[in-house]
Structure 1
Amino acid sequence: MPLLEETFIIHGGCNCKAVRYEISVPALSDRPPTPYKTPGADIGDLRIPAVVMDHCNDCRRTTSSILPMGLICEAKTVRSSALPKENTSEGAFNVDDILDKLYLAVYKSSPARSRWFCSRCGTMVAYSIDPGVIPPEWGWSAMIDIWLGTVDREDLEKDYMAPERMLWSEKGIPWVRKLAQSGAGGVPEHPLTRIDKLVGDDIEEDLT
């Protein structure tokens, strides 16, 4: 299911809330065409942001998720904030050392590829490609991919947040690709951690 056509905002952040973000999604008519295509190819009116599953080996390892899911966005639609580290004095930050003073940190997983995370709780938040890497004739905007698991539950519960495409499937683990395409295939669902109980059973005593 594609995202809503009207303007809306997606909120999220890391597990400890030291890093927060909001994504301002414009109306459909104001969203740019997806750049994820062969230059010049006609793929219809597909736009970003878009929610995708990602079978990339690096993304699987860095997110510790067997099937990472992300929200592909224009960087200019994302606003973020981060708490200063406890030992940081108050006052203006210099641009050169701002990341050293905040819990928002970056790891260069490969040349020109940045993975953004909270250095307090360790949550992986986003992925970006350095400016200048994409050939200018491709017409890409500055992009950032937000990991879907960091979206606030109130937003993530919306049906339109479900992924609409899978990327890097050539690199995918076969059973993971099968699971993503066809669902869990009858794997038992347990409401908590006690596998003697199934979804739908009374678990009130387990919550007290």
Structure 2
Amino acid sequence: MSRLPAFPIEGGCACGALRYRLNAPPIAVYTCHCTDCQKLTASAFSMAMPVFRKDFEVTRGEPATWLRKAASGTVIPQRFCPDCGTRIFTEPPGGPHSVTIRPGTLDDTGWLHPVSAFWVSSAQPWVRFADDVLQYEKQPTDFMPVMKAWKAWVEGG
């Protein structure tokens, strides 16, 4: 039993100028509570959905780029709509094989279920985590438990 929608699925920015298609399921879905993500989203946390680059395609528009320098010094390209400013995806420094979609930009977000939370040490004090969410005080050094938790959730376990 899968809890995922039928792929491909689509998403885009707030104004509709930038659209994309995801042709296969994501690697995981998680939240990040670091202060950078709080500022970038003007909210308490951001959601992230890493996908294989081969499964992701921009179908309308051309994203603009902002090169964000993380506290670690790592430069992380942020891709966003040049018209409305909606951040659509980032390119993680781990290599060219994946991108991280901001899943709130999907047309259908009803199936999303974050299985882990990063930087809970910076989480707002009113944020509560479900019992089945893996919690990391900072950035995890091993992403394998997150991928395993995602697979278990997808399979209904």
Q: Secondary structure at the match of 2:59?
A: strand
Deviations 1:137-166 (A, max 9, x none): xxx6622111121010xx3123xx222221
Distance change >3 Å, CA 3–CA 107, structure 1 → 2: farther
Q: Secondary structure at the match of 1:120?
A: coil
Find the counterpart in structure 2 of residue 167 from structure 1.
Answer: 118
Deviation at 1:62, TM superposition (A): 1.4
Deviations 1:11-41 (A, max 9, x none): 1010111111111116xxxxxxxxxxxxxxx
Deviation at 1:56, TM superposition (A): 2.3
Q: Is 1:80 matched with 2:43?
A: no
Find the counterpart in structure 1 of residue 44 from structure 2.
Answer: 66
* Kept after mapping to 1: 8 A contact 2:44/2:123: no
CA distance in 1, matches of 2:35, 2:54: 27
Q: Secondary structure at the match of 1:25?
A: coil
5+ residue gaps, structure 1: 27-47, 84-101, 135-139, 183-208
Amino acid of the residue matched to residue 148 of structure 1? P
Q: Secondary structure at the match of 1:22?
A: strand
Q: Secondary structure at the match of 1:58?
A: helix
TM-score normalised by the chain length of structure 1: 0.53
Deviation at 1:170, TM superposition (A): 3.1
* Kept after mapping to 2: 8 A contact 1:114/1:127: yes
Find the counterpart in structure 2 of residue 146 from structure 1.
Answer: 101
Find the counterpart in structure 1 of residue 67 from structure 2.
Answer: 108
TM-score normalised by the chain length of structure 2: 0.68
Deviation at 1:7, TM superposition (A): 6.3
Q: Secondary structure at the match of 2:39?
A: helix
RMSD (Å), alpha carbons: 2.5
CA distance in 2, matches of 1:141, 1:122: 24
Find the counterpart in structure 2 of residue 8 from structure 1.
Answer: 7
Deviation above 3 Å: which 4+ runs of structure 1? none
5+ residue gaps, structure 2: 132-157
CA distance in 1, matches of 2:35, 2:44: 9
Find the counterpart in structure 2 of residue 204 from structure 1.
Answer: none
Amino acid of the residue matched to residue 46 of structure 2? P
Aligned residues: 126
Radius of gyration: which is bigger?
1
Deviation at 1:106, TM superposition (A): 1.0
Amino acid of the residue matched to residue 97 of structure 2? A
Match of 1:118 among 81, 90, 108: 81
Specify which structure has the higher proportion of helix.
1
Find the counterpart in structure 1 of residue 30 from structure 2.
Answer: 52
Q: Secondary structure at the match of 1:62?
A: helix
Distance change >3 Å, CA 124–CA 70, structure 1 → 2: same
